[in-house]
Structure 1
Amino acid sequence: MATLTGISNCTVTTCSFNADADCTAPAITVAGSPDHAECGTFISLDVRGGLPTATAHVGACQRVECTHNKDLLCSAESVKIGFGADTADCLTYSPA
């Protein structure tokens, strides 16, 4: 059975799932377009979401060209989410 990759850090403080640089979503989807990856779970609302003690993971990765993508799952040791080309990018993304 595959192990889900954890989110080690998220600096996107405008996300409803962000609490003190931690992601409180149980799992995120890494989405985007060729040559860049973004957090598909990012949402900017005036309410907080997620679970207070959640350890967030990458549930699915749509970036098949990423070197860490194995069967639509992330195989990186951990993932960092932060500002990049979009508001919430996967900073661990590495195109093959």
Structure 2
Amino acid sequence: MPTISACEVTDCAYNANRQCHTMAVTVGGPETCARCDTYLHASPKGGVSDMTGGVGACKVKDCSFNSSFECSAPSIKVSQHQGHADCTTFKLR
């Protein structure tokens, strides 16, 4: 499972010190949007403190790293984009 090497979305409940601490995220949203569907704005923080998040599924069929709805990138980065969290590793086929 590819890991999330960095997450710049510091207001996410799973983010601590720019690292994702959920077991797995789903990347998806609209067809051409690599939105992190797992993003959660909540307090207090959640997740598993000693775990680095991974990519559980990718619903973005036009991403070159998508293989049968699984991410084949070695790792991904997540950043804020137009008010939501996006996988910035996304690369159009």
Name the TM-score class by shorter chain: over 0.9
Gapped regions of structure 1 (runs ≥ 5): none
AA aligned opposite 2:79: G
SS in 2 for 1:83: strand
Q: CA RMSD in A?
A: 1.0
Matched, 1:27 2:15: no
Instruction: Tell me what 1:68 maps to.
Output: 65
| CA distances 1:36-70 after superposition (whole Å, capped 9, x unpaired) | 21100000011111001012100000001100001
Alpha-carbon separation, structure 1, partners of 2:83 and 2:31: 13
Instruction: Tell me what 2:48 maps to.
Output: 51
Alpha-carbon separation, structure 2, partners of 1:53 and 1:66: 30
Instruction: Tell me what 1:83 maps to.
Output: 80
Paired positions, count: 93
Instruction: Compute the TM-score of the two structures, normalised by the length of structure 2.
Output: 0.94
Identity of paired residues, percent?
37
Cα displacement (A) at 1:77: 1.5
Q: Which runs of 4+ in 1 moved over 6 A?
A: none
Instruction: Compute the TM-score of the two structures, normalised by the length of structure 1.
Output: 0.92
* Equivalent residue for 1:42, pick from 39, 43, 55: 39
Gapped regions of structure 2 (runs ≥ 5): none
Cα displacement (A) at 1:86: 3.9
